[in-house]
Structure 1
Amino acid sequence: MGEVSRGARALVVCPDIRGISYDLDTESRLAEAEGLALAIGIVVADSFTLPVRQVRPNLLFGAGQVENIRIACEQEQAELVVVDGALSPIQQRNLEEKLGRKVIDRTGLILEIFGERAATAEGRLQVELAHLDYQQSRLVRSWTHLERQRGGFGFLGGPGETQIEADRRMIRQRMGRLRKELEQVRKTRGLHRERRERAPWPVIALVGYTNAGKSTLFNRLTGAEVMAEDLLFATLDPTMRAIALPGVEKAILSDTVGFISDLPTQLVAAFRATLEEVTAADVICHVRDMSNPSSDAQKKQVLQVLADLGVVDGQGETTRIPIVEAWNKLDLLGSEDRAELLEVAAAEDDIVAISALTGEGLENLLARLDSLLTSAARTYELELAAGDGRRLAWLHQHGNVLADEAKGDTGKRRIVVKLSEKDFGRYQSL
């Protein structure tokens, strides 16, 4: 059945299973499923929701529904069926046989996107690990030589070992190697984080639901050319750039992978290291697409991921790292909605209304981020040797120096300076 090819015409089917509580409404789920397909270059020939009163273990859908899907494929000349849900290996195989077409579920589709978009060595390792995890349960579908015996001698098993056993063992071995490599990557990232914490620059992490406009905002603030297409999962690897703020000479802005509802468990585990960047941030900027009717449900998903990372509590009410909400896409709102949104944002300290595309509201956002980075400053009275120009310059550059005077003939200087706790720690390590 080959891999998913760009330009393939597809039918997108969104099962609405009775008894399951979905985070997004049916219309939003269908739109998101279409977005996932478009993100990998698939042409959506048609899309629809199918109510599933009772899950069929062998097909998911009822026989009549499967026949309707087959007819729709014929009419729309679709060579691929995307099912926006999790299919068991047996369901996937049986649907492919009944429909005579390749069938891909939500997990497989997201894996395809991740495989295409991962740009760094770490991203590629994570994607391969997730792919293998997904694949090992589907060898029953992927291989046609399952019961052939592997004879002779060699690395991959002696006589009598079936091909599927050997293939599974190969996958397990490869996954073991990948996990070791990823662990090394995590340690390296930890070292980089420690180095950044000693460095004199605070970190602002952009987070948000996929397609909320994080990369557009990142590009607007930094002038960087990060991929910012109107596609789900346009960014898969954290990208970091320096920006200047009114009271902070330099801050590091970090763009992260977009969050999504029902992210397959293989991917949550595989992308843990990527999201770990968020836990080292000084401030989190949560970018929200306020033109999306499901914005509140998307916020809930983002807070759930942040709770999993230990950044906020389970309800999202208390947070270990300050969070600013950037209410994005003002340019897409009608005049009434826009006026209402601006009024609500103006009344809240932790909300700023913006358009990353036009630049509207960005000065307010930068001022708010700056305020959070400098608000926790305390006043310290320090004593420096008169010739310690390096530390003196650092304090003037990164703190608000209130007094700087010689202490008589002692050869020392008295410095009174406002510094954040983190900056004071950095100063002590100089």
Structure 2
Amino acid sequence: MAGLDHTHDPGLRSWVPGADGHADFPIQNLAFGVVAPSGEGPRAGVAIGAFVLDLPGALAAGLVEGEAGRAVAAMREPALNGFLALGAGPRRALRLRLVELLREGAPERGAVEPLLHPAASCTPHLPARIGDYTDFYAGLHHATSVGRLFRPDEPLLANYKHVPIGYHGRASSVIPSGQPVRRPNGQTKPRDATAPLFGPSRRLDYELELGIWIGPGNALGEPIPIGRAGEHVAGFCLLNDWSARDVQAWEYQPLGPFLAKSFATTLSPWIVTPEALAPFRTAPAPRPEGDPQPLPYLDDPRDREEGALAIDLDVVLTTPALRERGLPPHRLARSDARHLYWTAAQLVAHHASGGCNLRPGDLFGTGTISGPDRAQAGSLLEATEGGRIPIRLDTGEERRFLEDGDEVILSARCRREGFAPIGFGECRAVILPAL
């Protein structure tokens, strides 16, 4: 398995309280982000257990030097674009140095400890300035299920299994986990209406996706070969591409999603690096018999062997009534990143194949990741079959789509025998009423 080293040792221990066995951020993860500690301004940090290590503080204290120091120096402004642009070399050097500083028995503990902030007292920010955001449609089961609702005789259009489908999203409305989402107003046309109406969306939905952060870019006009596409991926996060389904149904022809998607996209605030995910790389799911093979610019032997990621994905819902009664969140779905039809490398190679220039801090969404069963549906549109079959909660409530006050929480875990599990942190938001 490529990229494995001592930083992936499941026996590696940290002196940071609670880091060993932490559900998301043990020492084997070391995800990067931008947070504002209580009463202070935003700065770059690394997640370790229930704490965040102040990285500019570590640089000022002389704890990181050489390539690792160069990586942190690129984080001086409260955005990681400069760091993402450096690529894998400095990123790996910083990972190795952080393991030295945070491992059990580290002689620098006394100097590092004052630089830890409780994560619970930190406000998360977006980890980078997003210049461009592209949302793909790479979840085969989602595309099939949604297509079946609207085109029972032809769920997938003829191009789907030949070309990664995507659209250019709105970067300005991408927000970090924890920030509320306002129900959008929009133009809709109910079936029994003779003319369109304008008002609050009544069919508000979530979408379970992975986000892909772009590192080094490419020059305008120069494609990225698929064999080198991985060099341009700086990391991954969770992504909820909120969707106003009634607005979408009226506006999407002929040019695709627009206002039904642009009102908000929520991200988990930590960039989980390719190095942390190395133990969880796996072969993509076999393509169904009879499917076309990818064209040569989308095909690579190594990508066929380990282009996918083994990530368990969960979606839960809390409602005002569930919270008032002290009841646990209701699980809406449990899916797996291996259900994606196209790999991250294929998405990068395709995006740049016509000469489009990607830039550090650009963001891709994979598209909704659903499995073949309703319990694996990555959206309410699928889980309720377009609102026809309600979801029943322990309070006696029903949900066909999201109501005001509902909170959707995405989470993820990477598990593989012989390695320490790691996670992504939560991607969550509460729905506020429309204005």
Tell me the TM-score normalized by structure 1: 0.27
TM-score, normalised with respect to structure 2:
0.27
Which fold has the larger relative contact order, with Cα–Cα distance below 8 Å and residues 6 or more apart in sequence?
Answer: 2
Q: Which has the higher helix share?
A: 1
Larger Rg: 1
